[in-house]
Amino acid sequence: MYAVVFGKNPRLSEAEFYSFIKRFGLKVRVLETNGDWLLFDSDARIERYFHWLGGALKLVKVLGEGEEALRGVEYSRLFTVSLYGKDDWRLWRRFGSEIKRELKKEGPSKFFKPARVYAMPAELILKGFPGVKDFDFFLREDGTFLIGETVGVTDPFELKKLDVERPRQRPILSIPPRLARTMVNLTEVKKGNFLDPFCGIGTIVQEFVLQGLGAYGSDSDEAAIKNAKENIRWLRKEFRLKNSARLEVCDARRLKRCFRTRFDAIVSEPYLGRPLKRNPGRGEAIKLANELDRFYYPVFESISNVLKRNGRVVFVFPAFKLGSGSVYRKDRGWLRRLGFEITGKYLDFEPRHRLVRDIHVLRYRG
Ligand SMILES: C[S@@+](CC[C@H](N)C(=O)[O-])C[C@H]1O[C@@H](n2cnc3c(N)ncnc32)[C@H](O)[C@@H]1O
């Protein structure tokens, strides 16, 4: 039995997890969900694939239920404890002491206490994971709990490197590498040709290349394509990859002129309008969304010319955080009329940008 612990957008991460299992054909039986984590049975292949999840933090192998399971913990000189389901540092210390008592039967052992009650992957890696162990406690509402040991973390250092170490950067406009990975999983397409028609400096295309997919990107801005090419050259060298990407200067409303390929999937964050200086009112948001839709409509017509039948699109539409605090989210009935069926919609909010991403997962019916 395993548990997966989700990051800061659990709803999106859970959707990604379900798509991911389909994408890689993993045999998984979900046993329990609580929002922040998910408990499931799976064959051990999950341990090999886990790091390709964008929105998950940890993979935990469950040792058992209640205090009894403490007897089964394996020795480690240095260990920490993570608590999920309740923010209770007293309990956290108590569990830590109990584990220490168990481990000491076999040799000296130290409980390291990270800055926060929750041991984050970055701290764990710095301490020497997997040599250093992390024991996880999942507390249920009814007072029962499960104990497990962390067997995998998504490497925050690799993800950060993909972002800040590449030669060309554009902090405000670029999508976080974690989100790019999540969006690729949401396609449910394991192999084939993937296109980002608003690729900018190439964050999503980088992910296509890393995953060994047929990687294509385009952007109407010549300078962006030049920079994307430089980033891909860096990525191939840094990660010793043999495959590459085809990058073209192209208006997303004219994709057929630029590509002869028929794509299996399109993953993209398009132009989302000018940066907002303050949160708009409802009327203003409706106006902004309508204006942008006048641009997105011909983009989707153009996408339908290069996408295979039953091909997938994972696309960021803008939603707007209003002055009142609520979110304005437009319904786009025209997508269905163009042959695109919406199979999922997920919000992702980035406070820094005042921008709410309304991530749509679509299937092209043709
Ligand atoms: C939000 S950015 C995409 C950023 C990208 N995801 C990244 O991480 O670098 C939007 C991009 O759309 C491009 N763009 C705007 N209008 C376009 C059009 N009609 N066709 C193609 N690209 C366009 C801009 O040049 C910009 O690079």
Q: Spelled out in words, what is the top-level CATH class assigned to the domain 2-154?
A: alpha beta
Which atom of ligand 1 is closest in space to residue 228's alpha carbon? 9
| Whole-number Å distance between alpha carbons of 230 and 248 | 13
Query: First-to-last CA distance in the chain?
Result: 41
- Spatial CA neighbour of 150 closest among 176, 177, 126, 131: 131
Atom of ligand 1 nearest to the CA of 270: 10
Cα–Cα distance for residue pair 270/174, rounded to 1 Å: 11
Indicate the SS3 state at residue 264: strand
Which of 31-35, 116-120, 259-263, 306-310 shows the lowest per-residue confidence on average (mean pLDDT)? 116-120
- Among 173, 175, 230, which is best to mutate for testing ligand 1, by the most ligand atoms less than 8 A from CB? 173
- Strand boundaries in the chain, DSSP class E: 2-6, 28-33, 37-42, 56-65, 78-84, 110-111, 133-139, 145-153, 193-196, 214-219, 245-249, 263-268, 307-321, 327-328, 340-350, 355-364
Looking at residue 116, what is its pLDDT?
64
**Mean pLDDT, residues 227-251:** 97
Model pLDDT, residue 347:
96
Q: Whose CA is nearest to atom 19 of ligand 1?
A: 251
Closest atom of ligand 1 to 202 CA is 9
Distance 332 CA to ligand 1 centre (A): 21
Cβ neighbour number for residue 71 with a 10 Å cutoff: 9
If one looks up domain 158-364 in CATH, what number appears? 3.40.50.150
How crowded is residue 329: how many other Cβ atoms within 10 Å of its Cβ? 16
What is the mean predicted confidence (pLDDT) over 218-243? Answer: 97
Mean per-residue pLDDT, 188-204: 97
Q: Distance between CA atoms of 44 and 26, rounded to whole angstroms?
A: 10
pLDDT in tens, 103-158: 999 999 999 887 665 567 888 888 888 889 999 999 999 999 999 999 999 988 88
Decide if pLDDT at 196 tops 90: yes
What is the position in ligand 1's atom list of the atom closest to the CA of 269?
A: 6
Distance (angstroms) between ligand 1 centre and the Cα of 255 equals: 14
pLDDT at 117: 55
Protein residue whose Cα sits closest to atom 26 of ligand 1: 200
Please report, for residues 74, 176, 246, the alpha-carbon distance to residue 364 in angstroms, rounded to integers and kept in the order given. Answer: 50, 26, 23
Residue whose Cα lies nearest atom 15 of ligand 1: it is 271
Give this prediction's pTM: 0.95
Residues 159-184 have pLDDT tens digits of: 889 988 999 998 777 899 999 999 99
CA 200 to ligand 1 center in whole angstroms: 5
The reported pLDDT for the residue numbered 277 is 85
Average pLDDT over residues 335-351: 94
Interval between CA 308 and ligand 1 midpoint (Å): 23
> What is the best residue among 219, 251, 355 to mutate for testing ligand 1's pocket, by most ligand atoms within 8 Å of CB?
219
Specify the domain boundaries for CATH 3.30.2130.30 within the chain: 2-154
Range(s) for CATH 3.40.50.150 in the chain?
158-364
pLDDT of residue 121: 80
Contact residues of ligand 1, CB 6 A cut-off = 170, 173-175, 198-201, 203-204, 219-221, 224, 251-253, 269-272
Distances (CA, A) of 146 to 2, 6, 63, 69, 272: 11, 17, 8, 8, 43
* Best probe residue, ligand 1, of 205, 271, 358 (max atoms within 8 Å of C-beta): 271
The residue whose CA has the least distance to atom 5 of ligand 1 is 200
Per-residue pLDDT of 282-317, as tens digits, reads 999 999 999 999 999 999 999 999 999 999 999 999
- The pLDDT assigned to 118 comes to 59
- How far is 233 from 71, CA to CA, in rounded Å? 51
Q: What is the pLDDT of residue 324?
A: 86
Ligand 1 mean position, distance from CA 21 (Å): 30
| Three-state DSSP class for residue 116 | coil
Tokens standing for residue 336: 């269905």
Distance from the alpha carbon of residue 270 to the mean position of ligand 1, in angstroms = 5
